[in-house]
Structure 1
Amino acid sequence: MLQIILVLCLFIALVIPIGRYLYHIADNKKTFADPVFNPIDNFIFRICGIKKEDMNWKQYALALIATNGVMILIGYIILRIQNLPIFNPNNIESMEPSLSFNTIISFMTNTNLQHYSGESGLSYLSQMAVIIFMMFLAAASGYAVCMAFIRGIAGKKSLGNFFVDVVRVITRALIPLSLIVGILLVGQGVPQNLSANKTVETIEGKYQDIAMGPIAALESIKHIGTNGGGFLGANSSTPLENPTVVSNIIELLSMMVLPGACIIVFGLMVYYRKKEEDIGSNKNKNNVLFGGEGRTIFVAMSILFLIGLTVCYLAEKAGNPELAEVGLSQAMGSMEGKEVRFGIAQSSLFTTVTTSFTTGTVNNMHDTLTPLGGMVALLNMMLNVVFGGKGVGFMNMALYAIIAVFICGLMIGRTPEYLGKKIEGKEMKLAAMCIILHPLLILAFSALAVSVSAGVDGISNPGFHGLTQVLYEFASSAANNGSGFEGLADNSYFWNITTGIVMFVGRYITIIIQLAIAGSLMAKRRVNESIGTLRTNTFGFSLTLVMVVLIFSALTFFPVLSLGPIAEHLTLWR
């Protein structure tokens, strides 16, 4: 428990200063790093011909899709020709077409779902020019959209410029933080080289191949950008990616700080916008650490996170009753699929964090979790509002906030308002579409997978657990999480194509809808608060948000969860 508390306290200590720094980046304010980064940014703007012109939501969305589309094409070509002797000391062959499609969609959508094993499936050229590069660009694209969304709902006059936002996020946040994390990981023993794999003789007198390569570089941006794809097939459970408890804590904090910081950005942007309206200038404003609106959402997310963490930890600590029946000790809980150096606490925390913050990296095999522990990981991705990566959790929670104020407004007979803007039919239709799309992708494609032979053939564990495997694969894809429940034979045409479609739609259609909502709210006139205005910066509204999320998720996912992890749990503990 002390290990878990330590990590959470470090998270709170780091997220506020990093959030304030990210706010200054998003709002184009002065930072201590301007003398270093301004010349770099201006040089990139000049050679790329980037004009710092404001965009409306349609232009912003088009710039995102066009840029990502070009990178998808380039990345696909590299994967198909990676057998060339360029940074390919291990003589890796070219990737098969459907797997290339799945891989490039996966990494461009910041999902990082892997139907291949990194050490045997990719050359160093692909690892660097496709995987690591995409991790930077996909993460920067997501954070740029989040900043634009925040500007729109917070009442700024412009959504900003996509290209400017991407450059500033990469140069001022992702690269510096990745360098720091990379150095720390190298200090813990994570390899960083371009050498061929090493063949060594083991103590037993046998021979084993030890993977080499730019592992630390990938590990740093993998967590900072909430990407999740591992250099190796076993991901962060292997000592080459995550050798010690210290490296485990570094990776945990790395994937937590920027998603949490996005909520700080929102709170500060709303707070300072209100102060500007009150005093008419940017001067003489009181400095705050958080901002009331941001604190409300942060508290709601924290409640959901702590509920999931508690259930996962207690479920793994309780272990498997079948072992007790045959006389085996359950004192250590369920250690199946977990690394001894991490144990129950670090494994449960990592599982909850990676699925809450939609990173997808794993330090244990989720397929071996207890039914309730696996359900926590699954439900975090189904909700997709518990912090989330790249600001996704915040944007989705903001949609629930819009629905919450709409419901509360109807109850008191007033036109719903959020952050001084009226919530009308257009916003509600868009929010409903966005919230419905996520479960539709998960449930519809899961139904397809268990209805056709191509899908059923990939299920290795029939029964309740097999259904959970299928649900997890599509929930991970739709939430752009990328963690694998494992157990599926997923490197097939069916699974490569269907998950590729789900990842693409789950990423880009959702972003377009959210930008449309931000653009609609930004264009509305502000209304003054009155005695009947619902206050959305209180602890009471945090609880309202939690209840709205749980009610919607219960109505949507409880039936299928009952057929999967819940039924498996009841059978196990009969």
Structure 2
Amino acid sequence: MNTNLTGVVATLILTIVLAIPLGRYLAKVYQGERVWTDFLRPFERLLYRLGGINPAEEMSWQRFLRALLTINMLWLVYGFIMLFYQGVLPLNPDGNPSMTPDLTFNTVISFVVNCNLQHYSGESGLSYLSQVGVIMYFQFVSAATGMAALAGVYRAMQEKQSSTLGNFYVYFIQSITRVLLPLSIVLAVALLACGTPMTFDGKIVLNTLQGVEQSISQGPAAAMIAIKQLGTNGGGFFGVNSAHPLENPNFLSNMLQTISILLVPIALVFALGYYLKRRRLAWIIFGVMTMGFLSFVMGTIMAETAGNPAIAQMGINQDLGSMEGKETRIGAEASALWGIATTATSNGSVNAMHDSMTPISGFLQMLDMMINALYGGVGVGLLNYYIFIIIAVFISGLMVGRTPELLGKKVEIREMKIATLITLLHPFLILMGTALSSYLIVHHADIGWAVKPANWLNNPGNHGFSEMLYEYTSASANNGSGFEGLGDNNFFWNVSTGIVLLMGRFLPIIGPVAIAGLLAQKQYIPESSGTLRVDTPTFGLMTFAVIFIVAALAFFPALALGPLAEYFSMHP
């Protein structure tokens, strides 16, 4: 085993070792038990008082969702004003201009919905005020929104019969003060030690060895990078994200950031087991997710270390693997792990250019986002998996002749309708968007208010199709990474992906919360010999099969036209 592969294994082991106690801690926080961060309660009470919130007030699932959607709407308005006028606001030492209306529309939505799709270059597209007061702020609150929604579902699953899910604002604030903020401080300090900058000074002007002046951007990067990873946000301070040597200086910082991408999503799975006192169920869910995740990681590592066959035919040595678009300080194996970790968790940050990876890697990264439930983003990953559990329970019940039940509650037609609609929404948004953009490319449609479609793509054929498919997949999955051969900073892509971002974020939150609320109101049925158990390996395999069958049926034709066709064209 080479050194880089050893680093990959060590990263995965450390992540799990840290996630288990963090999961126990998260369960205690959301249950209101005593934890070491209780010293923050006076500060939290101050926030409740300032916001006019009664923390003891219980919310129905309808009111819970209204609170969630209302506060996110206010952030959209705030963000649009800040970015549209950033050129005349303070903390802009490099003189970066304000954003155009369509780019502002896309950027604000992208960060509010925890996607962080960036159609701009970080260091030249935003002022320091925008980076900290808008982008970094949204990275905290968008992550906390997903965690609060999941905490409400935990509460619904725990109760034998209840009409309330707890208080959204309490879950939301605790997710920031008790989880995201402390972890971000620790990670930011560690990144500072690795060499990541944290300053409000402008660009540094240096003389190179060739005697040429070079301006190097810096800024308050360490703090933003910490929450971008821990909150599965992914938006980079610098344009090339964590491939930038200041954002990700060395292999140690790369390990720390990879662990941070996976840590909270995995911990939330274990938190479910501690919260419900059903640890076996949590391990089954973790096992299903990990089985899919590791298969994707191994496939990507094999593809990237094998090299590019087209380059091999030229007689060029590829002992280091396929290194196009990668950083030598990180290597092919760690880049492959990051590529799957960032797409499995809807994080979207990159330490290598996904557009340069081999077709099989691109295929697996897209499939990762199309499934969108192998760990997933903080909170929402488990919400997506919850939908698959509902479907698997219903199908399994029909197959064995038992009433479909989940933790003592009957799953009936109303819950199945919601689950089915949410399941179909994801492929609808991805495939419809890709079909529309492909039509405009093929017919060179004159759409007037956008860049000519012929200028969108830097690559023709199958890879060009993959670039458009990847963009809508990333937007719908709230991921944010991209095949950057696509020219996406224009009216068409800013607006179309902005709409997909909104629908792909909030409807998959509304659906699971509504299902959980409806099930919580039903009469509890004690487990018996006729109960369909959901904490067994058999049911875990059933859920695994449902996930991949749904993904295969919905997405295989599109993947066959893109990355798979490109792969076979390289291997005649």
Residues 111 and 477, structure 1, Cα contact 8 Å, conserved in 2: yes
- Deviation per CA, 1:393-412: give whole Å up to 9, x if none: 21111111111111111111
Tell me the CA shift for residue 45 of structure 1: 1.1
Residues 430 and 517, structure 1, Cα contact 8 Å, conserved in 2: yes
Q: Are positions 1:37 and 2:40 aligned together? A: yes
Task: State the distance in 2 between where 1:532 and 1:298 align.
Answer: 25
Tell me the CA shift for residue 56 of structure 1: 1.0
Q: Identify the match of residue 450 of structure 1 among 438, 450, 453.
A: 438
Q: Which amino acid aligns with 1:141?
A: T
Q: Identify the match of residue 308 of structure 1 among 273, 292, 296.
A: 296
Task: State the distance in 2 between where 1:33 and 1:121 align.
Answer: 37
Q: Are positions 1:350 and 2:338 aligned together? A: yes
Tell me the CA shift for residue 416 of structure 1: 0.6
1:9 aligns with 13
Q: Which amino acid aligns with 1:530?
A: S
Task: State the distance in 2 between where 1:33 and 1:494 align.
Answer: 46
Q: Identify the match of residue 197 of structure 2 among 191, 195, 200.
A: 191
- Deviation per CA, 1:282-318: give whole Å up to 9, x if none: xxxxxxxxx0111111100000001100110101111
Residues 148 and 379, structure 2, Cα contact 8 Å, conserved in 1: no
2:502 aligns with 504
1:467 aligns with 465
- Deviation per CA, 1:66-100: give whole Å up to 9, x if none: 11111110111011111125001111111111000
Residues 326 and 353, structure 2, Cα contact 8 Å, conserved in 1: yes
Task: State the distance in 2 between where 1:175 and 1:510 align.
Answer: 26
1:141 aligns with 145
Task: State the distance in 2 between where 1:429 and 1:154 align.
Answer: 23
Q: 1:494 to 1:26 in 2, by over 3 A?
A: same
* SS of residue in 1 equivalent to 2:351: coil
1:543 aligns with 541
1:485 aligns with 483
1:249 aligns with 255
* SS of residue in 2 equivalent to 1:510: helix
Q: Which amino acid aligns with 1:477?
A: A
Moved more, 52-61 or 225-234: 52-61
Q: Which amino acid aligns with 2:299?
A: V
Task: State the distance in 2 between where 1:398 and 1:75 align.
Answer: 31
Task: State the distance in 1 between where 2:302 and 2:380 align.
Answer: 28
* SS of residue in 1 equivalent to 2:205: strand
Tell me the CA shift for residue 126 of structure 1: 0.6
Residues 190 and 215, structure 1, Cα contact 8 Å, conserved in 2: yes
* SS of residue in 1 equivalent to 2:399: helix
Moved more, 371-380 or 144-153: 144-153
1:203 aligns with 209
Q: Which amino acid aligns with 1:432?
A: T
2:448 aligns with none
* SS of residue in 1 equivalent to 2:236: coil
Question: Map of 1:75-474 to 2, 5 A cutoff?
Answer: 75-155=79-159, 157=162, 158-271=164-277, 291-452=279-440, 453=445, 454-474=452-472
Task: State the distance in 1 between where 2:285 and 2:386 align.
Answer: 8
Q: Which amino acid aligns with 1:335?
A: M
Tell me the CA shift for residue 455 of structure 1: 4.5
Q: Identify the match of residue 519 of structure 1 among 514, 517, 520.
A: 517
1:281 aligns with none
* Structure 1 outlier segments of 4+, above 4 Å: none
* SS of residue in 2 equivalent to 1:338: coil
Q: Which amino acid aligns with 1:43?
A: L
Tell me the CA shift for residue 150 of structure 1: 2.0
Count of aligned pairs: 555
Task: State the distance in 1 between where 2:181 and 2:276 align.
Answer: 27
Q: Which amino acid aligns with 2:49?
A: R
Tell me the CA shift for residue 63 of structure 1: 0.8
* SS of residue in 1 equivalent to 2:350: coil
Q: Identify the match of residue 560 of structure 1 among 539, 558, 561.
A: 558
Tell me the CA shift for residue 21 of structure 1: 0.7
Task: State the distance in 2 between where 1:568 and 1:350 align.
Answer: 22
* SS of residue in 2 equivalent to 1:33: helix
Task: State the distance in 1 between where 2:220 and 2:208 align.
Answer: 24
TM-score norm. by structure 1 comes to 0.95
* SS of residue in 1 equivalent to 2:484: coil
* SS of residue in 2 equivalent to 1:450: helix
1:288 aligns with none
* SS of residue in 1 equivalent to 2:36: coil
Task: State the distance in 2 between where 1:167 and 1:402 align.
Answer: 29
Task: State the distance in 1 between where 2:518 and 2:395 align.
Answer: 20
Moved more, 103-112 or 259-268: 259-268
Residues 476 and 505, structure 2, Cα contact 8 Å, conserved in 1: yes
Task: State the distance in 2 between where 1:141 and 1:414 align.
Answer: 36
Residues 402 and 532, structure 2, Cα contact 8 Å, conserved in 1: no
Q: Percent identity?
A: 44
Tell me the CA shift for residue 203 of structure 1: 1.2
2:532 aligns with 534
Residues 405 and 417, structure 1, Cα contact 8 Å, conserved in 2: yes
Tell me the CA shift for residue 136 of structure 1: 0.7
Task: State the distance in 2 between where 1:387 and 1:119 align.
Answer: 30
Task: State the distance in 2 between where 1:261 and 1:85 align.
Answer: 39
- Deviation per CA, 1:480-521: give whole Å up to 9, x if none: 010111111000000000000000011112211121111111
Residues 148 and 175, structure 2, Cα contact 8 Å, conserved in 1: yes
Q: Identify the match of residue 62 of structure 1 among 41, 60, 66.
A: 66
Tell me the CA shift for residue 388 of structure 1: 0.5
Task: State the distance in 1 between where 2:13 and 2:401 align.
Answer: 42
Q: Which amino acid aligns with 2:506?
A: Y
Q: Which amino acid aligns with 1:497?
A: V
1:287 aligns with none
Q: Which amino acid aligns with 1:82?
A: Q
Moved more, 202-211 or 381-390: 202-211
Moved more, 454-463 or 327-336: 454-463
Q: Which amino acid aligns with 2:385?
A: M
Tell me the CA shift for residue 457 of structure 1: 3.5
Structure 1 residues not aligned, in runs of 5+: 273-290
Task: State the distance in 2 between where 1:26 and 1:468 align.
Answer: 41
Moved more, 557-566 or 508-517: 508-517
CA RMSD of aligned residues (A): 1.1
Task: State the distance in 1 between where 2:37 and 2:287 align.
Answer: 31
Structure 2 residues not aligned, in runs of 5+: 446-451
Task: State the distance in 2 between where 1:387 and 1:11 align.
Answer: 13
Tell me the CA shift for residue 331 of structure 1: 2.2
Task: State the distance in 2 between where 1:2 and 1:73 align.
Answer: 47
Residues 420 and 528, structure 1, Cα contact 8 Å, conserved in 2: yes
Task: State the distance in 1 between where 2:517 and 2:376 align.
Answer: 22
TM-score norm. by structure 2 comes to 0.95
Question: Map of 1:14-33 to 2, 5 A cutoff?
Answer: 14-33=18-37
Moved more, 310-319 or 44-53: 44-53
Q: Which amino acid aligns with 2:456?
A: G
Task: State the distance in 2 between where 1:540 and 1:341 align.
Answer: 43
Q: Which amino acid aligns with 1:216?
A: A
* SS of residue in 2 equivalent to 1:299: helix
